Amino acid sequence: MIKLENVINTILQQLEHEQANETWKSRRRYFNQMLKCARLLGITEPCAKLYDAFIADDNNSCERHAMHIRCVKLVDAFAGTKAKDAQGIMFNEPPLPDETAVNAFFQDRKFPITGDVQIDQLIVKAEIEMRYLHLTDSTIGQYKHSWMGIRRYFYNAGVDGYSESLLKCYIKQRSMQFSNGSIKEWKWKIDRKAALVLMEVAKTGCFIWKLVNRDVSGSSVQIESIRSKYLDSLRQRNLSRSTIDLYDYVFRKFIAFAGIETPKDLQALLPPKIHLAITKFAGCCNRRSMATILPILRSLLTFFHTTGIAKKNLSGIVMGCFVQRSSVAAYLSEKDQAELVAQLEKESKRNKAIILLAMHLGLRDCDICNLTFQSIDWQNDKISLVQTKTDEPITLPLLPDIGNALMDYILNERPKRTDHYPYIFLREKAPHHKLSTVYLICSKLFSLLEIKPINGKSKGVKLFRYSIVHKLLAAKVPHQVITDVLGHTSKESDKPYLSMEDSMLKMCALDLSVIGRISWKEGALNG
């Protein structure tokens, strides 16, 4: 092997022509420290033992630690020692294939690919296929970091070619590490997403961005098969995508909470396991959520029995959840609304337009997210749309402040898309698809301003609808007009809102003077 001193001298000669004089002198000092460390250890050639000792000799200085690692990488690359750091990662990992070569390789390749495709080639292909999303450099950097982790996982397993089964093992390992707290949630999410991107590109040759549902942590192939059958049964009932996602959430959580690992566990399911799962659901969900989850859990247990997966139908032991609802709907005071309007001047143009739409027109969350350019009639100052919830059309006035806010956002802030994407409000970060909800925008504003609604704790867009109704009721506006403004198709839908009419409620109040008096005796009340 080449002597350490000769390696360092050669590296310094190369750096002398590439770096400024002061920078080069700094590098020489660090290399001299490495030589000193080697003499103390009696080492004359580059090796892992020297690297570890030199990196550890940093005097608790982050800057010195980083420079020692940089010097080690230079020596390792020149000497070809292929050493690894404390995490088992090579100081100088082999470079990924050239992009031009990868494009040429996949030009006539049919998909899905087989094991003769190197994992390195697939990683480069995946990065190319994701470029249409126009992700930021930092986001691409996170994907690359995760892909390199997958690459090391394959190399450590002694596999160079792509293997879907090995990639699934990697996803399962990372999920287990997240479950036991070894890695943080954001790291688990990006690693899992990076692996799923590779799997999709390997199958189809391209990548289409979409949301990824959480997998059942550590679930077996048999449990996943049962889950697929359950989801198929829901689709046959023509349920909406959001409803199916909710049922899927209950399925995945129940499997995890009850400790179900195999179909035998489901076959021998007992009430204590169900009680344990319900207790864990209650620990992470509020009462209103439990009122939604428990009926779904009953239907899930019925599905297990009717399909022969479970011996007994245990759905009857799941009791309903009592939720005491507030008698009067929550709304915002005039002062709070004025503070919100003032704060909007400091918010993004998108958030300002969204809040004004909700505050002045009472649009639902889903209708704001689904608002399109075709909905806006700029010439006649109208907003016309078909309500997502009721599938009924509604026309509202395009007020000047709303129109100005929308135009300001569209012209000066809305992310640019090359296609004719119809939706107005987009995600700020790539991929720039339409928003799925505006709840967080509202709740963050309420928390920032420390706003507490009257008669409740709501922080969503619906609070603005209640506030509008409160104003209309106070102004003695007829109920039919309120029904039309809200876009309701039935007067039954107005009942929660009409509880805000204080004067009418006071007329319904009972006289408390009879409390404590003896009731019926000869047809009269006697004291």
Q: What distance separates the 2 farthest-apart alpha carbons in the chain?
A: 118
Q: Which two tokens stand for residue 115?
A: 């094991």
Instruction: Return the pLDDT at 216.
Output: 45
Amino acid at 328: V
Q: Which two tokens stand for residue 476?
A: 């003695």
| CB-CB contact of 423 with 434 (8 Å) | yes
DSSP symbols for 116-165: TSBHHHHHHHHHHHTGGG---HHHHHHHHHHHHHHHHHHHHTT--B--HH
C-alpha span between 222 and 141 (Å, rounded): 36
* Least reliable range by pLDDT among 188-202, 396-410, 441-455, 488-502: 488-502
Neighbours of 325 (CB within 10 A): 9
Neighbours of 297 (CB within 10 A): 21
| CB-CB contact of 109 with 73 (8 Å) | no
Neighbours of 314 (CB within 10 A): 18
The pLDDT confidence band at residue 527, using thresholds 50, 70 and 90, is very low
Instruction: Return the pLDDT at 210.
Output: 77
pLDDT in tens, 395-414: 999 999 999 999 999 999 99
pLDDT in tens, 61-70: 989 999 999 9
First to last CA, the chain: 111
- ∠ CA(78), CA(82), CA(83), 5° rounding? 110
Neighbours of 374 (CB within 10 A): 9
pLDDT in tens, 270-326: 999 999 999 999 888 877 788 899 999 999 999 999 999 998 899 988 987 665 555
Neighbours of 249 (CB within 10 A): 14
DSSP, res 157 = T
Q: Which two tokens stand for residue 498?
A: 């009409």
**Phi and psi at residue 319, in whole multiples of 5°?**
-85, 150
Amino acid at 457: K
Calculate the average pLDDT of the chain. 86
pLDDT mean over 68-74: 93
pLDDT mean over 160-165: 91
Per-residue three-class SS string for 188-231: HHHHHHHHHHHHHHHHHCCCCCCCCCCCCCCCCHHHHHHHHHHH
The pLDDT confidence band at residue 500, using thresholds 50, 70 and 90, is low
Q: Pick 88 or 508 by higher pLDDT.
A: 88
> Is the bond leading into 112 cis (omega within 30 degrees of zero)?
yes
pLDDT mean over 496-504: 58
Q: Which two tokens stand for residue 477?
A: 């506006």
Instruction: Return the pLDDT at 525.
Output: 46
Q: Residue for token digits 């809040």? A: 355
C-alpha span between 55 and 494 (Å, rounded): 70
Q: What is the CA radius of gyration of the chain?
A: 32
pLDDT in tens, 226-262: 998 999 999 999 888 888 989 999 999 999 899 888 8
β-bridge mates for residue 84, sequence order: 90
| CB-CB contact of 242 with 296 (8 Å) | no
C-alpha span between 130 and 126 (Å, rounded): 6
- Report H helices in 258-314: 263-267, 271-284, 287-306
Q: Residue 281 contacts by C-beta under 8 Å, 6 or more apart in sequence?
A: 253, 257, 290, 293, 297
pLDDT at residue 92 tops 60: yes
Nearest residue to 223 via CA among 266, 188, 194:
266
Q: Residue for token digits 């503070």? A: 339
Nearest residue to 81 via CA among 97, 94, 66, 92:
92
The pLDDT confidence band at residue 366, using thresholds 50, 70 and 90, is very high
HSE-up of residue 335 (Cα within 13 Å, Cβ side): 6
Neighbours of 252 (CB within 10 A): 18
C-alpha span between 377 and 375 (Å, rounded): 7
H or E element, residue 394: strand 393-397
